[in-house]
Structure 1
Amino acid sequence: MTDAPAKPVLDTVSNAEATPERELPWAELGLKPDEFAKIVEILGRRPTGAELAMYSVMWSEHCSYKSSKVHLKKFGELPQETPLGKTLAGIGENAGVIDIGQGYAVTFKVESHNHPSYVEPYQGAATGVGGIVRDILAMGARPVAVMDPLRFGPLNAPDTARVLPGIVAGVGGYGNCLGLPNIGGEVMFDETYLGNPLVNALCVGVLRHEDLHLAHASGVGNHVVLYGARTGGDGIGGVSVLASETFDADGPAKRPSVQVGDPFMEKLLIECTLELFQAGVVAGIQDLGGAGLSCATSELASAGDGGMHVELDTVPLRDSSLSPEEILMSESQERMMAVVEPQHLDGFMAIAEKWDVEAVVVGQVTDTGRLVIDWHGDTVVDVPPRSVAHDGPTYERPYARPIWQDMLQSKGAEQLPRPTTGEQILEQLLRIVASPNIADKSWVTDQYDRYVQGNTVTSQPDDAGVVRIDDETNLGVAVSTDCNGRFAKLDPYAGAQLALAESFRNISVAGALPLAVTDCLNFGSPEDPEVMWQFEQATHGLKDACAELGIPVTGGNVSFYNQTGETAILPTPVVGVLGVIDDVTKRVRHGFAAEGEHVLLLGSTEEELSGGTWADVVHGHLGGLPPRVDLPAEQALGALVRDAIAAGVLTSTHDLSDGGLAVALAESTFRHDVGVTVALDDPFLDLFSESTARAIVTVAEADHDAFVALAEKHGVELASIGRTGGTDLVVEGQFSVSVADLKHGWKATLPAVLGHIID
Structure 2
Amino acid sequence: MLSAEDLAFITGTLGRDLTDVEAACFENLWSEHCSYRSTRSLLKTLPTEGENVILGPGDDAAIVRYSDSLALAIGMESHNHPSYVDPYDGAATGVGGIVRDVISMGSRPIALMDPLYFGSLAAEKTRYLLEHVVAGIGDYGNCIGVPVVRGETVFDPSYQGNPLVNVVCVGVVDPERFLTARVKAPGTRLVLFGSSTGRDGLGGASFASRDLSEESEAEDRPSVQVGDPFTEKLLIEATMEMAETGKVLSCRDLGAAGLAGASSEMASTFGARIVADRVHLRETGMNAVEIMLAESQERMLIEVAAEDVALMGAIAAKYDLGWSEIGEVIAEPRYIVEFAGETVCDLPIDLLVGGTPRCALPKAPRTVDTTYTPPPGDTKALALAVLSHPDIASKVWITEQYDHDVQVRTVSLSHDAAVLRLEDAALVLSCGCNPRQIALAPYANAANAVYENAANLACVGAEPLCIVNCLNFASPLHPEVFHDMEQAVLGLGDMARTLGAPVVGGNVSLYNESDEYGTEIKPTPSIGMAGKGPVRCWTKAAAGDILALVGETGEHLGGSVLDAVTGCGGAAPAIADPSLLPLIRERVAADRFSGVTDLSKGGLLVALAKLAPNAEVRLSGDPVTALFSETYGRFLVAVKNEADLAGLPHAVIGTAGGEGLRIAAGDEKVVLSPEEIEFSLSSITRLMRY
Bigger Cα Rg: 1
Paired with 1:220 and 1:66, the residues of 2 have a C-alpha distance of: 29
Query: Does residue 553 of structure 2 align to residue 605 of structure 1?
Result: yes
Paired residues, number: 683
Q: CA deviation at 1:48?
A: 0.9
What does residue 688 of structure 2 align with? 754
Q: CA deviation at 1:652?
A: 1.5
Match of 1:39, SS? helix
1:30-179 residue pairs with structure 2 within 5 A?
Answer: 31-75=2-46, 78=47, 80-81=49-50, 85-179=51-145
Q: In structure 2, what residue type is equivalent to 1:679?
A: R
Match of 2:267, SS? helix
Q: Is the 8 Å Cα contact of residues 241 and 254 (structure 1) preserved in structure 2?
A: no
Q: CA deviation at 1:677?
A: 1.2
Query: Does residue 664 of structure 2 align to residue 664 of structure 1?
Result: no
What does residue 530 of structure 1 align with? 480
Q: Is the 8 Å Cα contact of residues 159 and 519 (structure 2) preserved in structure 1?
A: no
Paired with 2:505 and 2:329, the residues of 1 have a C-alpha distance of: 28
Q: CA deviation at 1:250?
A: 8.2
What does residue 168 of structure 2 align with? 202
Pair 647,490 (structure 1): closer, same or farther in 2 beyond 3 Å = same
Query: Does residue 558 of structure 2 align to residue 620 of structure 1?
Result: no
Query: Does residue 416 of structure 2 align to residue 416 of structure 1?
Result: no
Find 1:242's aligned residue among 207, 217, 222.
Answer: 207
Q: CA deviation at 1:273?
A: 0.5
Paired with 2:590 and 2:210, the residues of 1 have a C-alpha distance of: 53
What is the CA deviation profile of residues 614-673 of structure 1, one whole-angstrom value per residue up to 9, with x for unaligned ones?
2221x234x44311112xx32x32212221122222221211100011001112246xxx
Paired with 2:13 and 2:239, the residues of 1 have a C-alpha distance of: 36
Paired with 1:292 and 1:450, the residues of 2 have a C-alpha distance of: 31
Find 1:376's aligned residue among 323, 334, 340.
Answer: 340
Q: Is the 8 Å Cα contact of residues 254 and 299 (structure 2) preserved in structure 1?
A: yes
What does residue 339 of structure 1 align with? 303
Q: CA deviation at 1:740?
A: 2.9
What does residue 438 of structure 1 align with? 392
Q: In structure 2, what residue type is equivalent to 1:547?
A: R
Pair 90,651 (structure 1): closer, same or farther in 2 beyond 3 Å = same
What does residue 737 of structure 1 align with? 672
Match of 2:66, SS? strand
What does residue 469 of structure 1 align with? 422
Taking structure 2 as the reference length, what is the TM-score of the superposition? 0.96
Paired with 2:3 and 2:131, the residues of 1 have a C-alpha distance of: 37
Q: Is the 8 Å Cα contact of residues 194 and 298 (structure 2) preserved in structure 1?
A: yes
Find 2:359's aligned residue among 395, 406, 409.
Answer: 395
Q: Is the 8 Å Cα contact of residues 226 and 338 (structure 1) preserved in structure 2?
A: yes
Query: Does residue 621 of structure 2 align to residue 679 of structure 1?
Result: no
What does residue 217 of structure 1 align with? 183
What does residue 26 of structure 1 align with? none
Find 1:692's aligned residue among 632, 635, 641.
Answer: 632
What does residue 313 of structure 1 align with? 277
User: Mean Cα displacement is larger for which, 272-281 or 381-390?
Assistant: 381-390
1:262-273 residue pairs with structure 2 within 5 A?
Answer: 262-273=228-239
Paired with 1:79 and 1:489, the residues of 2 have a C-alpha distance of: 25
Q: CA deviation at 1:132?
A: 0.6
Match of 1:430, SS? helix
Query: Does residue 508 of structure 2 align to residue 542 of structure 1?
Result: no
User: Mean Cα displacement is larger for which, 60-69 or 564-573?
Assistant: 564-573
Query: Does residue 251 of structure 2 align to residue 285 of structure 1?
Result: yes
What is the CA deviation profile of residues 146-203 of structure 1, one whole-angstrom value per residue up to 9, with x for unaligned ones?
0111111100112112211111100111111111111111111111101100111111
Q: CA deviation at 1:590?
A: 4.3
What does residue 21 of structure 1 align with? none
What does residue 507 of structure 1 align with? 457
Match of 1:525, SS? coil
Paired with 1:531 and 1:311, the residues of 2 have a C-alpha distance of: 42
Paired with 1:213 and 1:448, the residues of 2 have a C-alpha distance of: 29
What is the CA deviation profile of residues 437-483 of structure 1, one whole-angstrom value per residue up to 9, with x for unaligned ones?
11111111111111111101222x4211122221xx2x221111121
What is the CA deviation profile of residues 375-419 of structure 1, one whole-angstrom value per residue up to 9, with x for unaligned ones?
1221111112222222223311111122x33xx23x2x3x42476
Query: Does residue 544 of structure 2 align to residue 596 of structure 1?
Result: yes
Q: Is the 8 Å Cα contact of residues 159 and 195 (structure 1) preserved in structure 2?
A: no
Paired with 2:437 and 2:219, the residues of 1 have a C-alpha distance of: 31
What does residue 13 of structure 1 align with? none
Paired with 1:271 and 1:119, the residues of 2 have a C-alpha distance of: 31
Match of 2:44, SS? helix
User: Mean Cα displacement is larger for which, 126-135 or 504-513?
Assistant: 504-513
Q: Is the 8 Å Cα contact of residues 462 and 590 (structure 1) preserved in structure 2?
A: no
What does residue 526 of structure 2 align with? 574
User: Mean Cα displacement is larger for which, 291-300 or 387-396?
Assistant: 387-396
What is the CA deviation profile of residues 348-369 of structure 1, one whole-angstrom value per residue up to 9, with x for unaligned ones?
2222222222221111111111
Q: CA deviation at 1:143?
A: 0.5
Q: CA deviation at 1:598?
A: 1.5
Q: CA deviation at 1:342?
A: 2.3
Paired with 2:159 and 2:485, the residues of 1 have a C-alpha distance of: 17
Q: CA deviation at 1:551?
A: 2.1
Find 1:717's aligned residue among 634, 649, 658.
Answer: 649
Q: Is the 8 Å Cα contact of residues 85 and 220 (structure 2) preserved in structure 1?
A: no
Paired with 1:274 and 1:314, the residues of 2 have a C-alpha distance of: 24
Match of 1:45, SS? coil
Match of 2:392, SS? coil
Cα RMSD between the aligned structures?
A: 1.8
Q: Is the 8 Å Cα contact of residues 333 and 350 (structure 2) preserved in structure 1?
A: no
Find 2:437's aligned residue among 459, 483, 487.
Answer: 487
What does residue 650 of structure 1 align with? 593
Paired with 1:625 and 1:323, the residues of 2 have a C-alpha distance of: 57
Paired with 2:54 and 2:677, the residues of 1 have a C-alpha distance of: 47
Match of 2:501, SS? coil
Query: Does residue 572 of structure 2 align to residue 629 of structure 1?
Result: no
Paired with 1:341 and 1:691, the residues of 2 have a C-alpha distance of: 58
Q: Is the 8 Å Cα contact of residues 192 and 326 (structure 2) preserved in structure 1?
A: yes
The alignment-based identity, stated in percent, is 41
Q: CA deviation at 1:79?
A: 5.7
Q: CA deviation at 1:720?
A: 1.8
Q: Is the 8 Å Cα contact of residues 445 and 574 (structure 2) preserved in structure 1?
A: no
Q: In structure 1, what residue type is equivalent to 2:586?
A: D
Match of 2:619, SS? coil
User: Mean Cα displacement is larger for which, 724-733 or 650-659?
Assistant: 724-733
Match of 1:371, SS? strand
Contiguous gaps of at least 5 residues in structure 2: none
Q: Is the 8 Å Cα contact of residues 490 and 624 (structure 1) preserved in structure 2?
A: no
